[in-house]
């Protein structure tokens, strides 16, 4: 069969190439047998618009204007259907059965009178008439013996036509296989289109052969003996000869066989196989005495009608027995075993490809190679054994068009390049790949295009990826491999994707504002250091800290304070401060004491890792202060040295210090400790930090309104008891990438995290959001934000896709309740020179908008911000953006300081202002504002409390956004602060008044006092303490 041979050769070559490219075998992946043009015209059938005879109306190549019968049958075949019908010149329909009472037209072929749009020499049905075609005589499976069959339908049995060549006689319909021919010599001198029985017989006789066979309507084979155990078959010789439609010339894998001068069937042998001749039993009743418990014979089944009926091929065995095949299938984890043709063993858990019982059990008539008393199938026949109560038979694999998750639509068989993929994200579902499973994963992560390839692969991306890759739709037959998770469906093929697109409401929608609506980056001042920590002080200035040795001149003091009122005088704007040990990769907070001292904890190596440093901000804006950092590691130090720790103010006012390593890339420090050190306490060991080192550094911490402490690290999260610091609740793992759940969110796969706004009366659950990160191994940055309400029972993470990938990023909470995501790269991880593809745009996240519609792509910067970059909110509502310390030749060491001006400050509207009666407020207490509101509309006023933040390594330590209750009488407004330390841990906040979304200048207020009496700590003479 020339067509089948070419197709099979192509499929084998493609599979081999694909396996080489992929660097793996094709284990477990099965191609649907390449299907040659075994389509026969059945007749003219009735159809109705509202009640179709064939239920599926697929799209076809070129559309209705190009339709031909060939295009329609090819499309139906590629989708796994065995009936194809063309109608009204340009319509194509498919199905595996007839519906709505469809059948032969009562007026015969008269109604099928419309030429095909794509080929005027063909008929493509007519009005309410189908030109019906079937594949491999499928009509025989749906039409009963009493049904009327079109006279054009081929006979299902081989009937010899008397030959005019003397001495030849028909001996039956024999099986044949491309790789092991029943007759070894193919005759090429006769054109396939002209083939007749006489021409083939004459050619074989002239070549001195005594056996002749015709196959597939146009092929001729000769031999003088039957090779490879060829055997008589009860059906399959159904194809009229191309040169004489009154004659039968075999069929797919079937020979119409003739013998010269009584040569008969000759001797069946295994040519060059080295095995003994197998005898043909006169009975196929199995004689088995030693099957495992529960296993039994299930009958003789037809194989290869539409492909193999069991999906896994075991190794061929010349000594095959029923018992050995069953044992091998059991070892492979299967519940069905099938023996075929002496030596072949197949396994599966279901009979696939529309398997059907043979008409007679005697069709399984080849003795097993290892036991002649047992039958091991026959030519295209399997002896089936199973331990199942009921055998499951699945239909011919086809493309899944229904039962899809959500609004997915099958688009076609898409070309994929094994070197440069069409889609960016590949998943491996070795045992459970289906359209449902694959597309559900794509949908969950916000991808609206995807599909399955090679049986077990799933791809996710966007329709734009197809355009960018210049990928084109291929013939449906090229998607020919069954899904690893469901043998009934097709999951692409070698370098071919069963391609689906989302046609519902967009899974993700981003805004792309322009002009002032996009905000604006502005240069602020040149820097004197490359900071790794930025922290606004309650004195109205910004403190920056850097590691020793960052400067090329290596002359930095390690920390400087920027006075925003002195920007026009570079030297005056930067006041040098001093630390004694290296603050590289330390943690910072603003203490709740009455002067808002800054604390910096941990560091680079040796004594620095134990360091506790304190600074009392002083000096009004425009005037240098006199205070400096105080540090004495002998007197005041951590219990364990920590590099990359996190810190948080607890509800009781103490400082919680979490995690880290002993020093630069040192051993883990998987413990917690509290400052000041409680009497009789020590560190608390954390097995989860030890287990996830080194991927858990700079964990995200938060006090929860219901009590307890949230800790999020690597791809895990849990709630700690705030008293014992032991695990109280383990939360669901944090999602990563669509194709890798191990994506990390903390250093070194550094994302960035915030708490969502809390609104009085604070009854809604607190939401935490983490954006970006990276994947261990390939280090592809994550392109999503995930959020969770950790206090809610059975809560799980919500995934929202970002407009771009981002790692080592920053996030800044704004006083209008939105968040600006900034800085970072799109490839790599944290560390010197380890991130690339800088991400230059900002993304605004607005939690008041519908889910998956909350992000807007804002203005771009020209300044690359990678490792050691920061972003914090200033008192005027702008964001100060600093740092970038890649220390490689690709990207600069960045001294420049920028500000990002959000849209609310670009409208030209006059900002509001206020005076305040008290800046030190107890829980549940009030303060009075005298407000100047330019709009005069107090209904559009909003008040926000923005907790003091220290920004480093994507961690905004201390961040909290609170919208308190307030009431106004004229321009006198009474603000009621949160009721307790769980809603609002004690500390300092910027108080903003917003007029129709425009913030004015914020004053610092302290809420909750100093419950841990940090104002008296540390009790050493060389530390200045403010008292309480």
**Tens digits of per-residue pLDDT, 967-977?**
999 999 999 99
Task: Select from 771, 756, 708, 769 the least CA-distant residue to 960.
Answer: 756
809-836 in b/e form (b: 16+ CB < 10 A) is bbbbbbbbbbbbbbbbbbbbbbbeebbb
Q: What are the tokens at 222?
A: 């000769």
Which H helix or E strand runs over 1017? none
Rg (CA), the chain: 39
DSSP state of 747: B
Cα distances from 610 to residues 434, 694, 705, in angstroms, run 54, 19, 31
Confidence of residue 144 (pLDDT cuts 50, 70, 90): very low
Residues 928/973, Cβ–Cβ less than 8 Å: yes
For residue 483, give the 3-state DSSP assignment.
Answer: strand
Distance CA 892, CA 884 (A): 8
> Which backbone phi and psi does 412 adopt, to 5 degrees?
155, -175
Do you find a cis peptide bond into 1018, omega within 30 degrees of 0? yes
Give per-residue pLDDT as tens, 717-732.
Answer: 999 999 999 999 999 9
Distance CA 884, CA 240 (A): 77
> Which backbone phi and psi does 939 adopt, to 5 degrees?
-70, -25
Look at 244 and 915; give whichever has higher pLDDT: 915
Task: Select from 920, 901, 888, 927 the least CA-distant residue to 1010.
Answer: 920
Residues 855/876, Cβ–Cβ less than 8 Å: no
Which H helix or E strand runs over 259? strand 254-260
Sign of dihedral through CA atoms 815, 820, 823, 827? positive
Give per-residue pLDDT as tens, 829-853.
Answer: 999 999 999 999 999 999 999 999 9
For residue 679, give the 3-state DSSP assignment.
Answer: coil
* Residue 289 confidence (pLDDT): 65
Residues 674/634, Cβ–Cβ less than 8 Å: no
DSSP state of 637: B
- Min mean pLDDT across 3-17, 443-457, 654-668, 867-881 is at 3-17
Give per-residue pLDDT as tens, 69-99.
Answer: 989 998 888 787 889 999 999 999 998 888 8
Q: What are the tokens at 101?
A: 């009472």
Which H helix or E strand runs over 425? strand 425-428
Residues 649/589, Cβ–Cβ less than 8 Å: yes
DSSP state of 452: E
3-state helix/strand/coil string of 778-837: CCEECCEEEEECCCCCCCCCEEEECCCCCECCEEEECCCCCEEEECCEEEECCCCCCEEE
Q: Residue 348 pLDDT more than 70?
A: yes
Which H helix or E strand runs over 974? strand 972-976
Q: What are the tokens at 846?
A: 């607005």
Confidence of residue 35 (pLDDT cuts 50, 70, 90): very low
> Which are the contacts of 966, defined by CB distance < 8 A and separation ≥ 6?
929, 943, 973, 974, 975, 976
* Residue 572 confidence (pLDDT): 98
Give per-residue pLDDT as tens, 579-621.
Answer: 999 999 999 999 999 999 999 999 999 999 999 999 999 999 9
DSSP state of 887: -
* Residue 604 confidence (pLDDT): 93
* Residue 141 confidence (pLDDT): 58
* Residue 758 confidence (pLDDT): 99
Q: Which residues pair with 45 in a beta bridge?
A: 104, 130
Q: What are the tokens at 573?
A: 């704007």
Q: Residue 265 pLDDT more than 70?
A: no
* Token pair 């084998």: residue: 12
* pLDDT above 90 coverage of the chain, percent: 73
E strand intervals along 471-629: 473-474, 482-483, 486-490, 496-502, 520-525, 533-536, 542-545, 558-562, 574-578, 587-590, 598-601, 612-615
Residues 500/410, Cβ–Cβ less than 8 Å: yes
Task: Select from 239, 37, 42, 38 the least CA-distant residue to 125.
Answer: 42
Which H helix or E strand runs over 71? helix 69-78
Confidence of residue 400 (pLDDT cuts 50, 70, 90): very high
Distance CA 170, CA 212 (A): 9
Mean pLDDT on 732-742:
97
Q: Residue 27 pLDDT more than 60?
A: no
Give per-residue pLDDT as tens, 178-214.
Answer: 777 899 888 877 888 889 999 999 989 988 889 999 9
Please give the torsion angle defined by the CA atoms of residues 236, 237, 241 and 245, in that order, rounded to the nearest 10 degrees.
-90
Q: Residue 282 pLDDT more than 60?
A: no
Mean pLDDT on 478-505:
95
Task: Select from 433, 372, 441 the least CA-distant residue to 405.
Answer: 441
For residue 994, give the 3-state DSSP assignment.
Answer: strand
Q: What are the tokens at 260?
A: 């010269």
Task: Select from 602, 701, 583, 685 the least CA-distant residue to 643.
Answer: 602
* Residue 193 confidence (pLDDT): 84
- Min mean pLDDT across 57-61, 744-748, 996-1000 is at 57-61
* pLDDT above 70 coverage of the chain, percent: 90
For residue 119, give the 3-state DSSP assignment.
Answer: strand
Q: What are the tokens at 314?
A: 């075991």
DSSP state of 292: P
Mean pLDDT on 220-239:
84
Confidence of residue 108 (pLDDT cuts 50, 70, 90): confident
The whole-chain average pLDDT of the chain stands at 89
Q: DSSP characters for 492-532? A: -BTTEEEEEEE-SS-S---B---GGGG-EEEEEE--SS--S
Task: Select from 832, 829, 857, 863 the least CA-distant residue to 845.
Answer: 857
Sign of dihedral through CA atoms 673, 675, 678, 679? positive
Distance CA 704, CA 720 (A): 10
Cα distances from 289 to residues 296, 321, 323, 369, 373, in angstroms, run 10, 12, 9, 17, 11
Spell out the alpha helix ranges (H) of 630-673.
Answer: none
Task: Select from 240, 247, 264 the least CA-distant residue to 169.
Answer: 264
């Amino acid at each position: 069969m020339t067509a089948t041979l070419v197709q099979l050769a192509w499929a084998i070559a493609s599979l081999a190439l694909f396996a080489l490219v992929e660097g793996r075998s094709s284990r477990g992946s099965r191609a649907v047998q390449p299907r040659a043009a075994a389509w026969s015209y059945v007749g003219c059938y009735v159809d109705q618009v509202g009640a179709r005879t064939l239920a599926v109306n697929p799209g076809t190549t070129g559309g209705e204007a190009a339709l031909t019968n060939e295009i329609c049958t090819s499309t139906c075949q590629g989708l796994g259907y065995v009936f194809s019908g063309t109608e009204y010149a340009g319509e194509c329909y498919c199905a595996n059965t007839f519906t709505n009472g469809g059948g032969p037209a009562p007026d015969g072929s008269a109604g099928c009178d419309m030429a095909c749009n794509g080929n005027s020499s063909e008929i493509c049905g007519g009005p309410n008439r189908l030109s019906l075609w079937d594949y491999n005589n499928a009509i025989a499976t749906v039409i009963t013996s009493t049904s009327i069959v079109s006279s054009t339908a081929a006979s299902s049995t081989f009937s010899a036509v008397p030959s005019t060549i003397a001495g030849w006689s028909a001996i039956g319909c024999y099986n044949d296989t491309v790789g092991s021919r029943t007759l070894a010599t193919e005759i090429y001198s006769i054109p396939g289109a002209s083939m007749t029985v006489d021409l083939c017989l004459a050619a074989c006789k002239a070549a001195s052969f005594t056996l002749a066979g015709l196959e597939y309507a146009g092929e001729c084979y000769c031999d003088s003996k039957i090779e490879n155990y060829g055997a008589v078959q009860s059906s399959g010789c159904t194809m009229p000869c191309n040169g004489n439609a009154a004659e039968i010339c075999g069929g797919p894998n079937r020979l119409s066989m003739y013998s010269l001068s009584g040569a008969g069937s000759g001797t069946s042998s295994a040519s060059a196989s080295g095995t003994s001749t197998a005898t043909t039993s006169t009975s196929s009743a199995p004689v088995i005495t030693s099957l495992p418990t529960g296993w039994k014979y299930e009958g003789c089944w037809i194989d290869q009608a539409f492909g193999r009926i069991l999906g896994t091929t075991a190794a061929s065995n010349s000594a095959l027995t029923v018992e050995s095949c069953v044992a091998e299938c059991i070892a492979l984890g299967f519940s069905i075993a099938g023996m075929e043709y002496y030596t072949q063993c197949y396994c599966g858990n279901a009979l696939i490809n529309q398997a059907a019982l043979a008409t007679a059990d005697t069709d399984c008539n080849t003795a097993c190679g290892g036991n002649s008393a047992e039958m091991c199938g026959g030519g295209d026949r399997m002896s089936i054994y199973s331990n199942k109560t009921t055998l499951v038979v699945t239909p011919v694999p086809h493309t899944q068009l229904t039962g899809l998750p959500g609004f997915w639509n099958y688009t076609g068989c898409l070309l994929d390049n094994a070197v440069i993929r069409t889609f960016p994200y590949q998943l491996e579902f070795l045992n459970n790949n289906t359209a449902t499973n694959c597309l559900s994963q794509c949908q969950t992560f916000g991808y609206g295009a995807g599909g399955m390839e090679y049986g077990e692969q799933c791809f996710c991306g966007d329709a734009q990826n197809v355009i960018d890759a210049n990928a084109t739709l291929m013939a449906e037959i090229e998607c020919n491999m069954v899904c690893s998770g469901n043998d009934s469906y097709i999951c692409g093929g070698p370098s071919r994707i069963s391609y689906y697109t989302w046609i519902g409401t967009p899974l993700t929608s981003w805004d792309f504002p322009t002009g002032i609506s996009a905000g604006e980056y502005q240069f602020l001042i040149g820097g004197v250091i490359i900071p790794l920590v930025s922290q606004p002080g309650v004195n109205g200035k910004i403190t920056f800290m850097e590691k020793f040795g960052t400067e090329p001149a290596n002359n930095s003091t390690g920390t400087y304070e920027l006075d925003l009122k002195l920007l026009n005088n570079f030297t005056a704007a930067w006041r040098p401060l001093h630390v004694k040990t290296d603050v590289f990769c330390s943690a910072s907070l603003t203490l709740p004491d009455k002067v808002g001292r800054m604390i910096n904890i941990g560091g680079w190596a040796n004594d620095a890792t134990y360091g506790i440093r304190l600074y009392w901000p002083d000096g009004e804006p425009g005037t240098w202060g006199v205070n400096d950092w105080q540090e004495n590691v002998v007197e005041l130090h951590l219990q364990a040295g920590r590099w990359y720790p996190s810190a948080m103010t607890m509800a009781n006012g103490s400082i919680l210090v979490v995690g880290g390593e002993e020093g630069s890339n040192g051993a883990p420090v998987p413990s917690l400790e509290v400052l000041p050190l409680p009497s009789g306490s020590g560190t608390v060991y954390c097995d989860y930090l030890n287990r996830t080192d080194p991927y858990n550094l700079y964990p995200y911490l938060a006090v929860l309104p219901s009590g307890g402490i949230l800790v999020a690290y690597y791809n895990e999260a849990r709630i700690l008891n705030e008293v014992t610091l032991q695990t109280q609740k383990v939360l669901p793992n944090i999602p990563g990438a669509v194709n890798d759940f191990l994506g990390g969110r903390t250093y070194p796969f550094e994302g960035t995290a915030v708490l969502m706004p809390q609104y009085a009366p604070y009854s809604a659950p607190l939401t935490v959001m983490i954006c970006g990160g990276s994947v261990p191994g390939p280090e592809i940055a994550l392109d999503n934000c995930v959020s969770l309400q950790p206090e809610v029972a059975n809560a799980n993470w919500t995934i929202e896709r970002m407009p771009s990938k981002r790692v080592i990023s920053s996030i800044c909470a704004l006083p209008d309740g939105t968040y600006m995501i900034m800085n970072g790269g799109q490839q790599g991880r944290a560390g010197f020179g380890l991130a690339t593809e800088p991400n230059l745009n900002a993304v605004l996240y607005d939690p008041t908008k519908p889910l998956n519609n909350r992000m807007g792509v804002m203005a771009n910067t020209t300044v690359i911000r990678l490792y050691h970059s920061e972003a914090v909110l200033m008192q005027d509502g702008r964001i100060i953006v600093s740092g970038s310390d890649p220390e490689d030749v690709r990207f600069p060491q960045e001294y420049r300081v920028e500000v990002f001006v959000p849209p609310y400050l670009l409208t030209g509207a006059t900002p509001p202002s206020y005076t305040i009666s008290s800046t030190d407020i107890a829980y549940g207490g009030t303060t009075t504002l005298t407000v100047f509101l330019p709009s005069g509309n107090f209904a559009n006023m909003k008040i926000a409390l923005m907790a003091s933040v220290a920004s480093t390594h994507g961690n905004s330590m201390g961040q909290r956004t609170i919208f308190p209750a307030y009431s106004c009488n004229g321009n006198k407004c009474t603000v009621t602060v949160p009721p307790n330390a769980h809603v609002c841990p004690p500390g300092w906040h910027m108080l903003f008044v917003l007029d129709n979304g425009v913030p004015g200048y914020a004053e610092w207020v302290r809420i909750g006092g100093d419950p841990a009496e940090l104002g008296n700590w540390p009790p050493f003479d060389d530390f200045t303490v403010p008292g309480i």
